[in-house]
Amino acid sequence: MGRYHFVFPRWSNLLLPAAIVVGTTAPLYVAFLVAFGFSPKTTDVGYQPVQPIPFSHAVHAGQLGMDCRYCHNTVEVAAKAAIPPTQTCMNCHTQIHPESELLKPLWESYRTGRPVEWVRVHDLPDYTYFNHSAHVTRGVSCVECHGRVDTMDRVWQVEPLSMSWCLECHRYPDPHLRDPDLVTQLEWGWDWDAAERLAEGERWRDINDLHPSQDCTTCHR
């Protein structure tokens, strides 16, 4: 928390519902707000907090080839992508490197039943609504919003997650779409040329009949 307060203080949460009501009737006001949405300052690109355990996605998702959904198992069915409980790690780590110094906090959590205190990386302001399942089941891959997590030793924020960034894709999603069965294959499509990749995106937009909404109430409820 606190990372957004430099740009928009708490009271902007209270003003937002009013802004939307006024915004739907006063086009100039909307233009003003959207101009704010385009502000390049509302970003946290590069934010990379230190975690209580140096868990590496490059090792687990990259080298070991584990699917994202093994751990983030709600990502296709819910708004939030679950962070795995200690038990998921222990499926392997009671066997693998059980004596490792790095895994001490994991064992501590296992013994006490207190969850590991992972530090959030991506965090939208409270007045916004985001939904994972709406994206991944429509063929928007994790890589479009989180980058090559499968090559990261420590997760960092790759995209701005600003309103203008959301809207840019909602206006023209075609270059970002793929077969929904391939959303967790982050390396897929990287060796395609841009024209081929776009044609594939357009194809999936047709197949799934996608029309991302730009209404204020889609993301502000």
Tell me, what amino acid is at 164? S
Chain positions 51 to 90 lying near ligand HEC, rule: CB under 6 A, are 51, 53-55, 57, 59-61, 64, 66, 68, 70-72, 75, 80-81, 83-84, 88-89
Task: Indicate which single residue of 92, 182, 199, 207 sits in contact with ligand HEC (rule: CB under 6 A).
Answer: 92
Residues 6+ apart with CB under 8 A from 206: none
Chain positions 16 to 35 lying near ligand HEC, rule: CB under 6 A, are 16, 19-20, 23, 30, 33-34
Does residue 198 bind ligand HEC (CB under 6 A)? no
Does residue 150 bind ligand HEC (CB under 6 A)? yes
CA distance 34 to 19: 11
Residues 6+ apart with CB under 8 A from 81: 72, 74, 75, 132
* Tokens found for residue 151: 């090559």
Closer by beta carbon to ligand HEC, 64 or else 199:
64
Closer by beta carbon to ligand HEC, 175 or else 196:
175
Residue with token string 């895994």 = 103
Does residue 200 bind ligand HEC (CB under 6 A)? no
Cβ burial of 54 (10 Å; 0-12, 13-18, 19+) is exposed
Least Cα distance to 86 among 68, 106, 103, 105 occurs for 106
CB of 113 to ligand HEC, least distance (A): 16
CB of 47 to ligand HEC, least distance (A): 9
Closer by beta carbon to ligand HEC, 15 or else 196:
15
Does residue 118 bind ligand HEC (CB under 6 A)? yes
Chain positions 120 to 139 lying near ligand HEC, rule: CB under 6 A, are 120-125, 128-132, 134-136, 138
Tell me, what amino acid is at 71? C
Chain positions 159 to 188 lying near ligand HEC, rule: CB under 6 A, are 161-163, 166-167, 169-170, 173, 176, 183-184, 186
Cα three-residue angle 38-40-42, rounded to 5 degrees: 90
Does residue 149 bind ligand HEC (CB under 6 A)? yes
Does residue 109 bind ligand HEC (CB under 6 A)? no
Rg from Cα positions in the chain? 20
CA distance 153 to 60: 10
* Tokens found for residue 183: 């959303």
